[in-house]
């Protein structure tokens, strides 16, 4: 259990998919113009990641090595379809805002990497904690980027105005270059936090 909790913590800070590993950046830069979009895509990815890795963990001994990647994609596609249909039914506005990036969860680098590197080699409990940690770390990173871009670009957080109209908005923040700038600054901040935490633990 202690090992599983350590694995959970790794996904949030030490091996954060975005701030540490810099993977799955395409949707990060495309949909994080608001915090709601970031959280929505993050939670959708977390759900697909958790379900897919657990299924792979249970069927790993029955998958021939030569076709493991196609099998992983089929598993991921199945749960992505389920999540997509649920979002279309219960959160249509969010589903429309995220657009093509919901179906593209199928080939998200994070999901395929965790299935190949962890789920196919470890027991279910460790896989569950790993997926929850990675998925939560991914969601928090998306939310942080979305919050900064929304605040600076629109002057709002969760759609609520927090910056007076008299203060000019920075339109660059809601464009792709703004996403790169925010991502870069948050990666630097995350590394500083990891270094400080590492010194404290030492």
- Check: CB of residue 138 under 8 Å from CB of residue 22: no
63-90 pLDDT tens trace: 888 889 999 999 999 999 999 999 999 9
**Reported pTM:** 0.91
Q: Residue 194: which of 9, 8, 3, 5 has the closest Cα?
A: 9
Give residue 157's region: left, alpha or beta (phi > 0; psi -120 to 50).
beta
The rounded mean pLDDT for the chain is 89
Band (200; pLDDT cuts 50, 70, 90): low
What's the rounded Cα separation, in Å, for the pair 148 and 152? 6
- Secondary structure class of 156 (helix, strand, coil): strand
């Amino acid at each position: 259990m202690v090992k599983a909790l350590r694995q959970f913590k790794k996904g949030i800070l030490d091996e954060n998919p975005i701030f540490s590993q810099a993977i799955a950046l395409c949707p990060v830069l495309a949909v994080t113009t608001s915090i709601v979009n970031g959280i929505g895509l993050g939670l959708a990815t977390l759900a697909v990641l958790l379900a897919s890795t657990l299924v792979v963990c249970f069927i790993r001994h029955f998958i021939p090595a030569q076709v493991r990647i196609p099998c992983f994609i089929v598993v991921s596609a199945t749960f992505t379809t389920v999540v997509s249909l649920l979002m279309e039914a219960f959160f249509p506005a969010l589903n429309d805002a995220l657009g093509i990036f919901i179906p593209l969860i199928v080939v998200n680098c994070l999901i395929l990497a965790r299935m190949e590197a962890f789920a196919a080699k470890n027991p279910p409990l460790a896989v569950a904690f790993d997926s929850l940690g990675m998925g939560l770390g991914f969601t928090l990173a998306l939310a942080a980027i979305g919050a900064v871009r929304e605040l600076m670009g629109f002057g709002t957080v969760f759609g609520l105005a927090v910056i007076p109209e008299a203060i000019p908005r920075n339109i660059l923040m809601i464009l792709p270059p703004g996403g790169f700038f925010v991502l870069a600054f948050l990666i630097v901040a995350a590394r500083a936090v990891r270094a400080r935490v590492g010194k404290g633990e030492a």
